[in-house]
């Protein structure tokens, strides 16, 4: 069921320093995610503008020369990656391939999701005040638009708390693990299936996020259920714990 990769670091790192080279095989070779791959990354010379490069294909990542080449050569301090197992809908297309990119609140955002929250599609479709319209058909992109709709209009000192609140509400509808970035922060929400590996202190700060550990390194740690972690330049700047209920305890409606 899809897998995520995230990187936040205090300096641009080569792919060999980030375990990114271990990610393409998760796209259909060593894991059952053959339905698309995508990478969004900040180039070193684009850091000031918070600009993302985006590459993706609606095909198996493990035998994509483009994906493998990026995994071997990419240099960045901020990366969001995804390999897809198509479930909602079970359709391979470029518009259904993560990460998704949108402009909101004066920033460029990228988003990738692991899980299943199909009710959010209808919720957004019926929302007369929705902030953005999905270009594809996935529940993931609808959830992204739903998050941005709630962040839009909130002052900067409130959007993290609002993001945690809305993430918890969406998680009520199923499984909702995601990576989100505004070009500066790496935001990771682990509803039920996400791990982190980060450094503390020292000259370099590096944080890696992955659905499943990409190595046998003993430092990989599972997210607490409902944990939201926010990194900037490899440093954990905020940790919020939400409390989504069990999937059987679902609300009648979500605001």
User: What pLDDT is recorded for position 127?
Assistant: 83
For 255, other C-beta atoms within 10 Å of its C-beta total: 8
Query: Per residue of the chain (255 residues), what is the pLDDT tens digit?
Result: 799 999 999 999 998 889 999 999 999 999 999 999 999 999 876 544 557 999 999 999 999 999 999 999 999 999 999 999 999 999 999 999 999 999 988 889 999 999 999 999 998 988 877 889 999 999 999 999 999 999 987 777 788 899 999 999 999 999 999 999 999 999 999 999 999 999 866 678 999 999 999 988 778 999 999 999 999 999 999 999 999 866 444 444 343
* Spatial contact of 2 and 114, defined as CB atoms under 8 Å apart: yes
- Residue 32, helix vs strand vs coil: coil
Class of domain 3-241: alpha beta
Q: How far is residue 84's CA from residue 2's CA, in Å, rounded to a whole number?
A: 4
Q: How far is residue 165's CA from residue 151's CA, in Å, rounded to a whole number?
A: 11
3-state SS string for 117-142: CCHHHHHHHCCCCCCCCCCCCCHHHH
User: What pLDDT is recorded for position 50?
Assistant: 58
User: What pLDDT is recorded for position 254?
Assistant: 42
Residue 213 has phi, psi (to 5 degrees) of -50, 135
- Find all residues with CB under 8 Å of 108, minimum gap 6, and list them: 50, 51, 52, 101, 102, 182, 183
User: What pLDDT is recorded for position 129?
Assistant: 79
Q: How far is residue 81's CA from residue 4's CA, in Å, rounded to a whole number?
A: 6
**Which residue bears the tokens 């609300």?**
251
- Residue 154, helix vs strand vs coil: coil
Integer CA distances (angstroms), 49 to 162, 175, 240, 247, in order: 25, 33, 27, 40
User: What pLDDT is recorded for position 246?
Assistant: 61
Answer whether 0.75 is exceeded by the pTM: yes
């Amino acid at each position: 069921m899809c897998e995520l990769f995230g990187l936040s670091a205090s300096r641009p790192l080569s792919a060999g320093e980030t375990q990114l080279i271990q990610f393409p095989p998760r796209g259909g070779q060593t894991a059952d995610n053959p339905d698309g791959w995508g990478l969004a990354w900040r180039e070193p010379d684009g850091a000031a503008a918070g600009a993302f490069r985006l590459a993706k294909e609606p095909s198996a990542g493990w035998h994509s020369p483009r994906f493998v080449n990026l995994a071997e050569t990419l240099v960045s301090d901020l990366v969001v990656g995804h390999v897809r197992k198509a479930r909602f809908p079970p359709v391979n297309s470029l518009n259904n391939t993560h990460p998704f990119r949108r402009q909101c609140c004066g920033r460029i955002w990228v988003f990738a999701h692991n899980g299943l929250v199909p009710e959010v599609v209808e919720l957004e479709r019926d929302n007369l005040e929705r902030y953005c319209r999905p270009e594809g058909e996935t529940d993931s992109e609808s959830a992204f638009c739903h998050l941005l709709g709630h962040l839009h209009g909130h002052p900067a000192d409130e959007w993290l708390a609002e993001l945690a609140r809305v993430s918890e509400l969406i998680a009520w509808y199923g499984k909702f693990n995601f990576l989100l970035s505004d070009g500066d922060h790496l935001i990771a929400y682990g509803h039920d299936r996400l791990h982190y590996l980060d450094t503390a202190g020292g000259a370099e700060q590096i944080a890696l996020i992955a659905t499943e550990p990409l190595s046998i390194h003993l430092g990989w740690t599972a997210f607490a259920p409902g944990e939201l972690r926010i990194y900037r330049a490899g440093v954990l700047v905020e940790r919020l714990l939400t409390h989504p209920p069990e999937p059987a305890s679902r609300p009648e409606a979500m605001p």
